Amino acid sequence: MTQPDSTSSTVAPNEEAQFLPTDRLQLLIDALIADDRVVIGPTIEQQAIVYEEISSVDDLPRGWTDVQSPGNYRLEKRDDDTYFGYVVGPHSWKQFLFPPLTVVATADRESADTKWSMQAPQEDPLRYAFLGVRACELAAIAVQDRVFLQGPYVDPVYRARRDAAFIVAVNCTQAASTCFCTSMNTGPKCKSGFDLALTEIDGGFLIECGSEAGAVILKSLETDDAGSRHHDLAENAQQQAVEQISKTLDTGGIRDLLLGNLEHPQWEEVANRCLSCTNCTMVCPTCFCSTVTDVADLSGDHVDRKRQWDSCFNIDFSYMNGGVVRNNVKSRYRQWLTHKLASWHDQFGESGCVGCGRCLTWCPPGIDLTEEVAAIRLHDLRVPPEGSSS
């Protein structure tokens, strides 16, 4: 996607959609590699489907699926051999666009008597191709675009990677018990923000094109024209995902609900279970916090300025001159949830949650943010406004 905005108008799928037989999927990977790209896709590692560099369809988790519930993730063998028959795993595309560790500057001096010279590392941006991006993940990338690219300060690290990235989306054909994208209006169907979008159906893939770059790649593949049968199969498969989504988050007036209940006893209750381990924020595809540290060598003449992922659940994240501002688990959980679902609206004009369910699955005690919001909504402590004008 060379320009994040350029994909808001998708090519009408019925005119452009093509059919790629299963045994030609390798051609797509080959075409992306031939386009001088590092292809990142799903693969199995450490008993989970993660995103790593791939070069072959054999790297894909063919015939595997993930079974998820709050605090629990297990791989299971499928009774078919689909390539994309899983939902989302512990990784997200965030780690490639916004790397966990970046040296953003270096400083050197000859000796204590000489001046410092500072350099910002100039890197060749990696040309990524992401294979298997789900609708909620496209939404998450759009959220991070707003954070890193559309404010007064553009992040050059994110910019370089984002501009060069080619996105092959995959429509979900199933859902996990932790999915709630339908509540957040982010999925499960991929509508925009991709170069190509696949739907896996019997015998192959329906491919839709979302950009000119996508059209170039699509043209180089040996595809067939998609018939109405292919479209029907794809629609049914996508509908299956919609029907499997059982979790909901009531977003009605959510900003005022949460910010009006900052002293709700539920925050204390959740703090008993929350380990403040940071896992929810790390797996969240939109969480963007980082910390910057200057690391000097022993001589004191060379300094690396390192930016690392950080989390509002890290006690020292709110350390300011003299002490820690959010000095207990309750205040840290409240900060995270109210930012994600409430003050994000003030800051970026939308929700920070895309409904992917990662923070439920990868929370060891299985804290479910939809249940936390529901508990607060059930006993809303706000005083009804006088005169009840609004």
Partner 1 sequence: MKSSPETPRRPRLALHKFASCDGCQLSLLSCEDELMAIAGQVEISYFLEATSCIQPGPYEIALVEGSITTPHDKERIQQVRRDAQKVVTIGACATSGGIQSLKNWANHEDFLKCVYARPEFIETLATSTAIADHIPVDFELRGCPINRHQLLEVLVAMINGRMPKIPRHSVCLDCKRRGVVCVEVAQGIPCLGPITQTGCGALCPTYDRGCYGCFGPAAQANCTGLVHTLQDNGATKDTLLPLLRNFNAAAPEFAEQSNALENQEETL
Under the rule (CB under 8 A), what is the footprint of partner 1?
45-48, 50, 71-75, 89-91, 95, 100-101, 112-113, 272-279, 282-283, 293, 296-300, 308-311, 314-316, 328-329, 361-362, 364-366
> Could you tell me where the DSSP H helices lie in 92-227?
94-97, 135-148, 156-164, 181-184, 212-220
Distances (CA, A) of 331 to 83, 242, 375: 42, 35, 17
Q: Give the pair of three-digit tokens for residue 108.
A: 């050197």
CB of 46 to partner 1, least distance (A): 4
Rounded Cα distance between 264 and 371, Å, is 14
When the beta carbons of 293 and 347 are compared against partner 1, the nearer one is 293
**SS3 assignment, position 72:** strand
Kindly state the smallest distance separating residue 364's Cβ from partner 1, in Å: 5
Q: Which amino acid is at 49?
A: I
Cβ closer to partner 1: 14 or 293?
293
10 or 92: whose CB is closer to partner 1? 92
DSSP-H helix ranges across 35-119: 94-97
Which uninterrupted H or E stretch holds 373? Answer: helix 369-378
The distance of closest approach from Cβ of residue 333 to partner 1 in the complex, given in angstroms and rounded to an integer, is: 11
Name the residue nearer to partner 1 (CB basis): 90 or 355: 90
Q: How near is the Cβ of 68 to partner 1 at its closest, in Å?
A: 9
Q: What does the block give as tokens for 119? A: 């350099």
Closest alpha carbon to 28 in 168, 156, 141: 168
Least distance from C-beta 53 to partner 1, angstroms?
A: 12
Q: Which is nearer to partner 1, 39 or 198 (CB)?
A: 39
198 or 284: CB nearest partner 1: 284
Note the residue count of the chain.
390
CB of 51 vs partner 1, minimal distance in Å: 9
Give the CA angle between residues 33, 50, 148 to the nearest 5°: 75
